[in-house]
Structure 1
Amino acid sequence: MAAPTALPLHMQRDRFDPPARMADLRGRPGLERVTTPLGLTAWLVTRYADVREVLGDATRFSSAGLPALPGSDDDQRAGNLLMIDPPEHTRLRRLLTGEFTVKRIRRLQPRVSEIVTDHLDAMAQAGPPADLVEQFALPIPSLVICELLGVPYADRAEFHRRASVQLDLTRPLSERGAVASESRAYMGTLVDRARAEPGEDMLGMLVREHGDDLTRAELVGVASLLLIAGHETTANMLSLGTLALLENPEQAATVRDDPEATAPAVEELMRFLSVVHSGVPRRVTRDTDVAGSPVSAGDLLVVSLPSADRDRALVEDPDRLDVGRGRASGATGSGPASHHVAFGHGVHHCLGAPLARMEMATAFPALLRRFPALAVAGEPEFRSAAVVYGLRHLPVTW
């Protein structure tokens, strides 16, 4: 099976924005036919209310039973929270939830601040120009998730390479499947090590506290998902979000100078950028309606998260970045922008959202304070044909 040559509509971007056609689709009744990166035909869901409906109903719209990548191993779905439904999903997620509570994440904040400071020091010592992706946006969340999971940071080059191939939709499906199996094999060695001698990291905790409730394949799947999701999404938000702020200097100054602006700014950047195009497609389990259109059991649905987050039903003037949207609701970022679907919605809402929010709330203001004259020093290289949208390179100076 060959990957489609044209980028699917729901993955197209114009720098920060979904294509103009998305706004046209939101304004019309019904659904649009698209082809997924696996070459399957699906219905595209574009409106905010409809996206929330699909993501919020795991009974009518299932994440399970989707085709696996060619060349990947038979255990690809085991432990992968994105590809299973309740009650199996509920059982696994409950075992992990304690590691991602707001209280637990607050305890990690000093270490995240230290990691951010170390990378800022290294950038300052090396001097400009710098590639913000390579020297700041990618290594910070990578080190955080490595320490959290118990993955050797010395292995980062290899797991970055494997993650990049798995998420790169220009690669042959067989190559992506084979690399997915490589990734699981690597994580299997770490799981076996943790089972033999559990440490204080998350893998060790899962083995000590839930070793009888989780199979080896489930441990491998959970850890593999957290490793990829824990650095890819946050890294692209840090680089793309920095570029968006630099192109809006007044808003960058607000994030730099006003601590109470940070939380609302993070929510607005998540809404405005929505780096995950669609997440896992949903399979319709019974004949029903979506967006006023009939869909049949077995049909595939793809939700456009960026389109939903640019819907006027969510915020006014949605195509404008405004880090102050949530200020009227206080410093918690609880205004309209915080109701975005960039972290998903429903039972599959991103488990690591509190960690991602904390990393961004720490990194953005720290970067802008350390380098108040930070500026783009060349043409950014955008990455469109990937599961997570973002930047390959962002040259900066100060």
Structure 2
Amino acid sequence: MTDTLLSLRELSLARPPGRPFDPPEELSRLRGEHPLARVAYPDGHLGWLATGHAVVRAVLADPRFSSRPEIMHLPFPGGPGPGEFPPTAPGMFIRTDPPEHTRYRRLLAGKFTVRRMRLLTERIERVTAEHLDAMERSGPPADLVRAYAAPIPALMICELLGVPSERHEHFRRLSLTFNDHAATAEEVGAAEAELGAFLSELVAAKRAAPADDVLGELAGEDLTAEELTNIALLLLGAGLDTTANMIGLGVFALLEHPGPLAALRADPGLADRAVEELLRYLSILHTGTRTALEDVEVGGRQVKAGESVTVSIQAANRDPERFPDPDVLDLGREPGGHVSFGHGAHQCLGQQLARVQLRIALPALLTRFPSLRLAVPAGEVPLRTGSDVYGVERLPVAWEV
């Protein structure tokens, strides 16, 4: 089959009109033609777009594909090209390859075990209940993002990093502003600078007196203050905005799907399956990009050294070759297999923390407010279409009192 060369400029990330939970239809068409398609990048580079589940996993798992930005072509316009990126800062391990990536990953892996995340369960339950109490006291309507979805992950990142309790509110305010797409550039810049200073101060305190938290434990390792600060920034970026948007968009999806909503309300024990299915179905992270370090055969095609491959997480998670009836939100589906946390060496370290928060937050909300509903028509819910992390800007909800 001869590919029709597609420009990635033409591949919109916008969800189809009236279908806020579905990927762009063009991705399904491309996947049907070939799971690895030849595409033109905005800078003129001829690279590839992976849409099939098996091909996406193969690219993400293959160490012959690099995550280093300085050799990467970006799939969307506006960013720097290869050779234009500043040097990767020490500690920014997601932008590195082995052996550098392996060193950081080994230090961090033991800090994000399933056991440790389970130990946080009681604290997450208390934080969740406190925010539900506040919503109940204030009464309907409420913006679920600001009242519930955003503050819970912010406070749990505080717990993980070891932010002192008296600084929680300050940290939460900074982190929410840093990730607020309604904030001005000046507000975001000021919050970013203050957050960096805050974390530098926190790192200095941990190095002076290590504590029983992730940052405190890392302070005892052979890492510089700059490395520790950048690791903290990465953990914040990876664990705050993503989980907040999964809670907000997940509730929106459930409220728009009466069958799964009723099933989860009737049986909170379905939470594990519901979380995995929502992660697959919603795919809030659109894409990732890798660059071939040498010639690699993928999906029966030859990717040349230096060519970039953009993987579509959305398309892979809706691949009918892997998931029967992939466009159906089905809580009875056998869980697992999705690539929402990535795959391979760069698979998300914080995935267990995200899962624990979602497993607690979703059923708790539906149990406390059994009549929860949208307070506006679904078409009026503002979506984050221009962000690397898809979600809702606000989610107005109401309930019977």
Which of 166, 173, 191 in structure 2 is aligned with 1:157? 173
CA distance in 2 between partners of 1:27 and 1:8 (Å): 18
Identity of aligned residues (%): 46
Measure how far apart 1:296 and its partner are: 1.8
Contact 1:275 1:389 (C-alpha < 8 Å) held by counterparts? yes
1:73 and 1:339, CA in 2 relative to 1: closer, same or farther beyond 3 A?
Answer: closer
Measure how far apart 1:292 and its partner are: 3.0
CA distance in 2 between partners of 1:380 and 1:227 (Å): 26
SS of match in other structure, 2:320: coil
| TM-score normalised over the length of structure 2 | 0.85
Measure how far apart 1:388 and its partner are: 0.7
Alignment correspondent of 1:315 = 323
Contact 1:380 1:393 (C-alpha < 8 Å) held by counterparts? yes
CA distance in 2 between partners of 1:53 and 1:251 (Å): 32
1:79-133 deviations in Å (ceiling 9; x for gaps): 1232111222122112112221111111110000000000000000000000011
Q: How does 1:41-120 map to 2 (within 5 A)?
A: 42-58=47-63, 60-66=64-70, 76-120=88-132
Alignment correspondent of 2:255 = 246
Root mean square deviation, CA, Å:
2.9
CA distance in 2 between partners of 1:130 and 1:123 (Å): 7
Contact 2:88 2:95 (C-alpha < 8 Å) held by counterparts? no
Letter in 2 for 1:111: R
Say if 2:129 is the partner of 1:123. no
1:20-67 deviations in Å (ceiling 9; x for gaps): 11111001124142546x997642111101100000012x11112437
Alignment correspondent of 1:24 = 29
SS of match in other structure, 2:383: strand
Alignment correspondent of 2:265 = 256
| TM-score normalised over the length of structure 1 | 0.86
Letter in 2 for 1:383: R
Alignment correspondent of 2:242 = 233
CA distance in 1 between partners of 2:178 and 2:141 (Å): 28
1:297 and 1:183, CA in 2 relative to 1: closer, same or farther beyond 3 A?
Answer: farther
The structure, 1 or 2, with the larger RCO (C-alpha pairs under 8 Å, 6+ apart) is 1
Contact 1:25 1:32 (C-alpha < 8 Å) held by counterparts? no
Contact 1:274 1:305 (C-alpha < 8 Å) held by counterparts? yes
Alignment correspondent of 2:381 = 380
Which of 264, 277, 302 in structure 2 is aligned with 1:294? 302
Alignment correspondent of 2:11 = 9
Could you tell which deviates more after superposition, 313-322 or 216-225? 216-225
Structure 1: tracts of 5 or more residues without a match: 1-5, 327-334
SS of match in other structure, 1:79: coil
CA distance in 2 between partners of 1:306 and 1:147 (Å): 31
Alignment correspondent of 2:144 = 132
1:178-197 deviations in Å (ceiling 9; x for gaps): 98676544422321222223
Alignment correspondent of 2:343 = 345
CA distance in 2 between partners of 1:248 and 1:198 (Å): 47
1:73 and 1:293, CA in 2 relative to 1: closer, same or farther beyond 3 A?
Answer: closer
